Every structure is written in structure tokens, then in C-alpha cells.
Structure 1
Amino acid sequence: MKRILLFILTNLLVMVTIGIILSVFGVGSYINEAGGIDVRSLLIFSLIVGFTGAFISLAMSRWIAKRMMNVQVLNPSGNLSQGERQIVEMVHRLSQAAGLLHMPEVGIYESKEVNAFATGPSKKRSLVAVSTGLLEEMDSDAVEGIIGHEVAHIANGDMVTMTLLQGVVNTFVVFLSRLAAWAVSRFVKEDVAPIVHFIAVIVFQIVFSILGSLVVLAFSRYREFHADAGGAHLAGKDKMIHALQRLQAYTDRMKDDKQTAISTLKISGKKRSPLFSTHPDLEERIRRLQAS
């Protein structure tokens, strides 16, 4: 989840920054002399900003993940503990089974949460990282299933596909935000219209980006099913199902602990909408694998 949210947040920040810089320097002006919108110029501007933001986010994804999660990259030829070496060998074995020509970097980061992620701008420059919490909570079969799932993400080229989708979403966000900002600026005095337009662009771009992220999150949920199937193929169907069942048991236990704490504090706990989830429901993922 954090990897996807980091990608979306980075994309938003990059896109807003690019838009502000281009606007300050008057690059890609789409308002004609009569004060109207030049749709063709705005569309070209939107395509450039939208896809530039997405691809810069992709290029930075591995670096940002390492810094934000404080990932310790494991050197295969270095002095590793037995557990660390097992993780490296597992990632490399599953990557070879997936047909990857370049082995992903392997990392571990300190966190009590049970989590793993794969990221990177390409199959050649990818990273698979696991949390210490996952290694403590899961047995070796579950860890192998989860790593198989993450390697499948890399083999499927999910980050590049997501970037292309994000570029399309960005294009609509940039186009619609400037169209809406232009419409708003028509209702104010002419001397303050440029300032209102500038501020409105930023506000609308953030709002439309949040709405656009729902499309990206929907695709993220869709591709998780494919990564589950890939993990089942690489690590074995039983191990992949076992991994998801262990995750389900862990999630249920954490939920019960949280509900107890919420009840004690007299706080109402609200379940998050599936629309804002990066992953589908675990029970549905298990059901689909069992039925396959």
C-alpha cells in the first residue's frame, strides 16, 4: 500500500511543481489574446505535464522507497546473516523462475507491520523489500508466497503500466483543472483574474488528482489478482494461498486488538471505503486462487 501511495503522492507533487514552474515562466500559454482557451495548446501542454510527472515519479520510485522506508539493501556477496541470505536467494530463485534477466535489489527495513513491496522504474532496476515484521510473523512458506507475489509484479511490468495509466489520468487532471480555473477567473475583476486563475489551477489540480487517484487505485486492485496468480505460479499455489491466509489471520488479530482499544477509548472506528484501497479484500483473493 505504501509503495502505491508514495508513487501517487510523488506524482502529484511533481506534476504541481512542473505546472507552477511552467506557469511562472509563461511556457505553454493556452489563453489567447481574446481571453479564451486555445484547446489545442492546452491539450499539448496537458500531455507534456501529465506524462512528464508520471515518468519522473517512476524514475524516482526506487530511490524514494529506499529513503522513505529506510531500506537496507542486502549485498549478495557481502557478509549476510543466514536469514538475510535466505531472503536474497529466495528472491533470486523466484526471479529466475519468472524469466527476469536482471536480479532485483533485495532489501529489509525495520517495521513492526507485516509488509513487502516491489518497485523500480524497470525490470532491470527493480527492488524487492520486506519488513522485519513480516519475517517475524510469517513462516518460510508464507514468506516465499509473498515474495513470489512481489516478483510477479516486476515480471508483469506493473509499475510501467501504472505509470502509463497515471500519465493519462494526469493529462485529464491538468486539462480539466486549467479549464475550470479559467472559468472561475471569468467571474472576478480583470486585474485580479491572473492571480485567481493561478491559485484555482493549484486547487483544482489537487482536487482532480485525488479523484483521478481512484482510477489508479482501481487498477492497483485489479493487478493484485494477477500478481497473486503469478505468485502461485512461481512459489506454488498452496504457498500463495497459505501466505494470504496468514495475512488474513494477522489482519483479523490486529483488527480485534484495534477494536478493543477503540472500545476502551470510546472512539467510533470507521471502516475505510474499498474505493480508497490499493489491494482487494483478502478473502476475495483467497477465494479466487482456490477456484483457479
Structure 2
Amino acid sequence: MFKRAALFIATNLAVMVLLGIVLSVLQGVFGVTLGDTGTLLVFAAVFGFGGSLISLLISKWMAKRSTGAQVIEQPRNEAERWLVDTVRRQAENAGIKMPEVAIYDAPEINAFATGPSRNNSLVAVSTGLLRAMDRDEAEAVLAHEVSHVANGDMVTMALIQGVLNTFVIVLARVVGRVIDGYISGNREGGPGFGYYIIVFVLDMVFGLFASMIAMWFSRRREFRADAGGASLAGREKMVAALQRLAQNRDQSTLPKQIAAFGISGAVAHGMKRLLMSHPPLEERIDTLRAMPDSVRAAV
């Protein structure tokens, strides 16, 4: 956790330094007054990282509230006991603290993991998964979710989103000021009305590109979690679980803020693939099958 906190701080400082250099260069080259650079950087940092950090800190609470997930405090039957024992064993093998284990009522085959850190997390499965999957397949799904936690994916995605948000906020305002200055001919005075329209449009455009980058990272982490699931539960079990998901492409009922952490994502084609949080299941299966034993063992 200390290493991830250090990474977060170092990345944040690096972004701030880089943005400061960009602003200084633009001021010198274009002769455009961008206002108080320090204020803009603080504004970008607070709003860029603030939202993603708050979402991370309350992620477990939000997941429970939005899905109605019930944490298994004391197993009431053999199925719940198996769930808890399986997650405990996998968590020990992955070197993390035991996550909370929960069940939420939903017809589709799905599961998700969330939480603010590797040692403060939640793994939840749908009632549809418990009905449709056998124990081997369910074990692989749990291993996939435990791998997400062990890999620190929740923190990583919050960090990436914070960095991207910061760039969007600053670049939209920098570019907006440059464009407005050339259109209005007013490079030294305050921004005109057109500046706010330009910034609004740029926020959306840059935000779309930022989402594409975030989803690219999200797809990468799914491949890694599949490999981790194969390491914890066995490659054939992981492949079988993904095949089961491919046979039952039910519409996910997970809320938007949690959907990216589910084991299965929506199917998209064309340019929409750039905004997919999950790779196609067929690609994930092929990647697992092609994975050398040496690579699988090193995950």
C-alpha cells in the first residue's frame, strides 16, 4: 500500500510539473496570458483527482448500496460457506487480506470486486452466477476478482482517471484561451464569452479521448486478472468460466460506476470498441490458451 501511495504522489507531482512547463511554454511562445498558473494547477488537481479519489474511498459503500449486495457475515448454508472458504484460500495465496464476500440479486452471470485498497476490498457474486455456474467455473470467477484486488486495479484506475481528468481540465482551458485570443484578437485581457463555449466543447472532446485511454487500461487489466485467475484456480477452469460467460451474454444490471469492475462487459463493434471496459470474451479465451506455462506461473 505504501508503494502505491508513493506512486500516486510521485505521479501527481510529475503531472503538476509537466503541466507547469506546458503553461510556461505556451505563455512564452504565443504571448497569451493564461492567468495564475498556480491557481489553474491547483484547480485541476483538486477537481481532477478529487472525484476519482472520493469514488475510490466510498467504492465499497456505493457498491453495496447500488446493488443491494449482502455481505456474508456468518454463512447460512453450504454454498455461502464454500464462497467464503474459497475467497479466503485465494486471498491467502495472493498475499492480501481477506476481502468481504457478498451476494447480490441479479439474473445475469456476473461478479465484481471493489474497494479502496488491496487489504480493504469487497468481492461479490450474482445469484445468477451461483445458479448457472458449477463450482470449478465459480472458483475461477472468484480467482479473477481476487486477482483484481491483488493487482491493486481499483487504485490504479483511480490514479489513471485522476491524471486524465487533470490533463483534460488544464488542456481545455489552455487551448481555449489560445483559440479565443486569436479569434478575438485579445491576447492580454480577460477571456471573452467565446472562451467559455470553446472550453465546454474542448472538455467534451478531450474527455472522450481520456475515456478511450482509461478504457484501454481497463481492457489491459482484464487480461492480467484472467492470468491471475488462471494462476489461482487453474487455466482450464478460467477458460471454462469465460466460455460459460460467452454462452450467456445477458445484459448486465450493474450500475455504471461498478460495471467496469464486473467480470464481463458489454459487446461493442466498430469505434465503440474503443470505449469498451472489457476485451471480447473470445479474445480473452484465446489469450489464456496461448499463454505459456512460464508466463502463467509468473503472474
TM-score under structure 2 normalisation? 0.72
Q: 1:52 aligns with which of 47, 50, 54?
A: 50
CA pair 37-119 structure 1, distance change in 2 beyond 3 A: same
Match in the other structure for 2:233: 235
* 1:136-155 to 2 correspondences below 5 Å: 136-155=131-150
Q: 2:212 aligns with which of 207, 211, 214?
A: 214
Shift of 1:203: 5.3
**Aligned residues: CA RMSD:** 2.9
Shift of 1:220: 0.5
* 1:170-185 to 2 correspondences below 5 Å: 170-183=165-178
1 CA distance for matches of 2:197 and 2:70?
A: 41
CA pair 47-79 structure 1, distance change in 2 beyond 3 A: closer
1 CA distance for matches of 2:238 and 2:44?
A: 42
CA pair 160-79 structure 1, distance change in 2 beyond 3 A: closer
CA pair 204-281 structure 1, distance change in 2 beyond 3 A: same
Match in the other structure for 1:284: 283
Q: 2:64 aligns with which of 55, 63, 66?
A: 66
Give the ranges of 4+ consecutive aligned residues of structure 1 lying more than 6 Å apart after TM superposition: none
TM-score under structure 1 normalisation? 0.73
Q: Render the CA deviation track for 1:97-149: whole Å, top value 9, x for unaligned.
A: 1111x211111111111111111110121010111111111111111001100
Counterpart of 1:229, as a letter, is A
Q: Render the CA deviation track for 1:191-226: whole Å, top value 9, x for unaligned.
A: x96766556655543443232111110001011111
Helix, strand or coil at the partner of 1:121:
strand
Q: Number of matched residues?
A: 242
2 CA distance for matches of 1:160 and 1:218?
A: 16
Matched, 1:247 2:245: yes
Shift of 1:274: 1.6
Moved more, 193-202 or 206-215: 193-202
2 CA distance for matches of 1:176 and 1:128?
A: 37
Alignment identity in percent?
47
Q: 1:156 aligns with which of 151, 154, 164?
A: 151
Match in the other structure for 2:262: none
2 CA distance for matches of 1:107 and 1:135?
A: 12
Unaligned runs of 5+ in 1: 1-30, 256-268
Match in the other structure for 2:34: 37
1 CA distance for matches of 2:194 and 2:64?
A: 39
Confirm or deny: 8 A CA contact 2:32 2:177 kept in the other structure: no
